[in-house]
Each structure stands twice: as structure tokens, then as C-alpha cells.
Amino acid sequence: MTVVCERVVSSLSPDDMEALCEAVTAGILDGGGFGWLQPPGNQALERYFEGLLLVQERSLYVLREDGIICGAGQLVRPPSSYEAHAATVNLTGFFVAPYARGRGLGRALIQSMIQGAKAMGSKVINCDVRETHAAAIGLFRSLGFEHWGTHPYYARIGGQTVRGLFFSKLLAGEHEAARWQSSIAAPDAGGAPVSSETTKGHQGLMLYPAIDLKDGACVRLRRGEMEDATHYSDDPAAQAKLFEEAGCRHLHVVDLNGAFAGKSTNVPAIESIVKATGLPVQLGGGIRDMAAIERWLEAGVSRIILGSVAVKDPELVRQAARAFPGQIVAGIDARQGRVATEGWAEVSELEANDLALRMEDAGVAAIIFTEITRDGMLAGLDLEQTADMARRLSIPVIASGGVGTLDHLRDLRTIARDVPGISGAIVGRALYDGRISLKDALDVLGSC
């Protein structure tokens, strides 16, 4: 018997996904967690795991016996806005299929996940479990997890109330733990606790280099005007590859023709970008129904940006966010605070912040906010509007429109220290014009 525990860093093969869904289904039928009392079906499970792999705060680990997946677990880091909890990680979604139990596989999986938590710098690992899962409780205790609390109304199953137990394990060594505990407990002169994590500042912001497509070529617009476009490259795939080789970790792609036409237009160019790199691609422009969303996700796009449809068909956004968790982003483009649609050709009476709150309620993974009057003008981001929106939301806000110098990125980084809901920036013209080098931009943002 060969046992392997590994972190999943890319999409699972069809065979692996099928084995994982089979194991999860068996676990649910045996009284496992995941929030399901009955198996939801393989299609829902596949969407769940595909979406999970796109959430930066979650790490999926799988357990293989002789090459076949028979268990899994997740490590969940707090979002970057939760600086006080930056040294903790939660272990969740842990299970071993009933047909693979009794052979020490669960212990091997947890030990692998503990090492993963240490590698990411976590000092404490937390977990919770139903009181009825005696074997899991015994396993956690044997690995040094301490029971510190009980939830009297943890779950309602079969008409019965089930209690839940909370466990934690200190991962730091004895001396390191003493220093860590001291640093987070010591008050400053004013009596407020001082956190060592806080002194390190905000975690890195993500850089999203923009590839805007018009008639199959890479262009950049000024203030969203199709007639005011600067042509940069006839080979979008090669451009995407250059961004990847320079160290970028994500790509932001917009089908400009599609945004005006209401349907995807630059299909060959988009497909070539997806095939050219292994980077996650978020795509917007003219995607306005479930068929188009499914088509692009199946083609390898990682996240779909819904813009005009967020205003005109919010129920579609809600439906898509439920069907593809972690893969739907709302693009909110505004002219002086008022939402613009149809490729920025129409301006509504809807306030950008009001739409952002609606999109958060609909379940989108993030908001991309663009002040159109600044887009492509290189005069700097609208930091005031971006920060105001981020303060109102619990989901990340990605800033867009107007970056022209490194100082603009430094200003964003400074604001993000006070408003940690800001998670990244989209940069286009300044990169193509050479006003900002990719290396310098990545260094300033601290992107990782």
C-alpha cells in the first residue's frame, strides 16, 4: 500500500475529480460534514472543488492510497483584512472515505496538513468537529490538539441537536511560541495591544496586468472610448506569455468588442491567451448569460467578470455565484460615482456603492472598481472612491483605472494598509508604454 498526501496546486484530472467526488459522497452518506446532509451530486461537487481552487485563502489537500484519492482536507487562512488572525489557520472539510478507514490514513493526512500550515507561517491551527465523530475527536487529541470549547447548538441533524467541539494546536516551538504570545499580548503606552503582524504592514497586493482586446489585438482605451484606442500588439498570446515570464501571477482580460456587442467577439484571441500560459485568467466583456459563463469556464478561464448584467439582471449574478463559487466577479465601472454599462456607453442613476453591496449579497467573490474618467489617462487611481467602497464590503475590491507611475501604486499600497479590503490593482497602459516596469510594480505591491 502506497500512501501519498499532497496539496492540490492545479486543476484535478477527470479521474482524480471523479475519485474525490466519490469519496466525498461516501463521507456525506456516513455522516460527514461539508454542510450537506445528502450528497448534492457530482456536478455540484465538481463545481465546489473547482471554485475552491481559485480562492487564494484556501489550500486543498488530498489523500491517495495506491494513487486513488480517498480523502481530503482544507486549510483556510483568514482574509488579508483580518490582520489580528494572520498567524492562525483553520483545518476544515477533513475526511477519509469510510472504505479507507482503519489504516492510519487520516493521521498521515493531518500530519501533512500541519506541515503545510507551518510552511505558510501559521502559529496556531484550529478545527471543529461534531461531538458524534468520536474517531475524529480521538485522532485530533492524539496529535496534540487541545479541546477548548463546546458549541451546544452546533448542528441540527435528523431532528436532533448535535454539539460541536473546538480544538486548537500550537504549531510554534516552545521558545518561538513564548515570543509570539508576548508580542501579541504586550500593550503599548496607550494600553492597546501591539501585534507583531501589524508592524509588518498589509499583506501583498496582487498585480493584474490588463490585456484589452479589440479586433483580435491588444489595445488600451482612453476613458473607455473605442475611437481613442492605442494599438500595442497583434499577438495577445505572446503578450500573456511575456507577463507570465516577468513574474505575474494573474491576467485580466477584457473583450472590448464583446462589451459593446453584448456577446463574446474576440474568441480566438481569448482562447489563445488561456492556452499560452498556466496563469489564472479573469475575463470580462459581453458575458451576459449562463451559457456564456459555462462556456468560458470550461475553456479554462478561471474567473468571469460580470459588468452590465450586474445592473440589468442581478438574479443571473446570484445564480452564477451559487453555481460557480469563487469564480464570479462583479465589474463596477462608474463615471463620478454613477454606474456605467454597455461598454461604458450608458450611465445609469445607480450609485456604485449601492451596486457593490448588492453584488456582495449576491455572492460574488470580489469587486473590480473602475473610475472611467481616469481609465487610460495615467493620472492615478480614484483612491477615495475605491477606499470608500472597500470599507463598506467584506469581499475584496480590486482597484482599476488610471495607474501611470510607481507612485500611484505606492499610494494604493499606503491606503490599503488602512483599508485592507483593497486586494490588488489592474494596470494596463503604464506597463505597455514602459512607464512602469513589471518588476518594479511587483516589488511595490508585494504581490506573491
Residue 212 annotated in active site:
yes
pLDDT at 184 over 50: no
Instruction: Tell me what percent of the residues of the chain surpass a pLDDT of 70.
Output: 85
The domains of the chain, with CATH numbers, are: 3-170 (3.40.630.30), 206-445 (3.20.20.70)
Categorize the per-residue pLDDT at 64 as very low, low, confident or very high, splitting at 50, 70 and 90: very high
Mean pLDDT of 71-87: 78
Q: What DSSP line would sit under 244-262, residue for residue?
A: HHTT---EEEEEHHHHHHT
The confidence score (pLDDT) of residue 85 equals 67
**Entry pTM:** 0.57
Residue 228 annotated in active site:
no
> Contact at 8 Å (CB) between 388 and 353?
yes
Categorize the per-residue pLDDT at 83 as very low, low, confident or very high, splitting at 50, 70 and 90: low
pLDDT at 175 over 70: no
| Tens digits of residue pLDDT in 372-402 | 877 556 778 999 999 999 998 888 999 998 8
The confidence score (pLDDT) of residue 108 equals 92
Nearest-angstrom CA–CA distance, 411 and 187: 30
pLDDT at 35 over 80: no
SS3 assignment, position 71: strand
Interstrand relation of 346-351 and 338-341 (parallel, antiparallel or unpaired): antiparallel
Neighbours of 216 (CB within 10 A): 16
pLDDT at 202 over 50: no
| Tens digits of residue pLDDT in 229-281 | 678 888 999 999 999 999 898 999 999 999 888 889 999 999 999 999 988 99
Mean pLDDT of 105-127: 91
Sign of CA dihedral 157, 159, 160, 164: positive
Amino acid at 392: R
Interstrand relation of 146-157 and 160-170 (parallel, antiparallel or unpaired): antiparallel
The confidence score (pLDDT) of residue 176 equals 57
SS3 assignment, position 421: coil
| Annotated catalytic residue within 212, 255, 375, 382 | 212
| Annotated catalytic residue within 128, 255, 333, 375 | 333
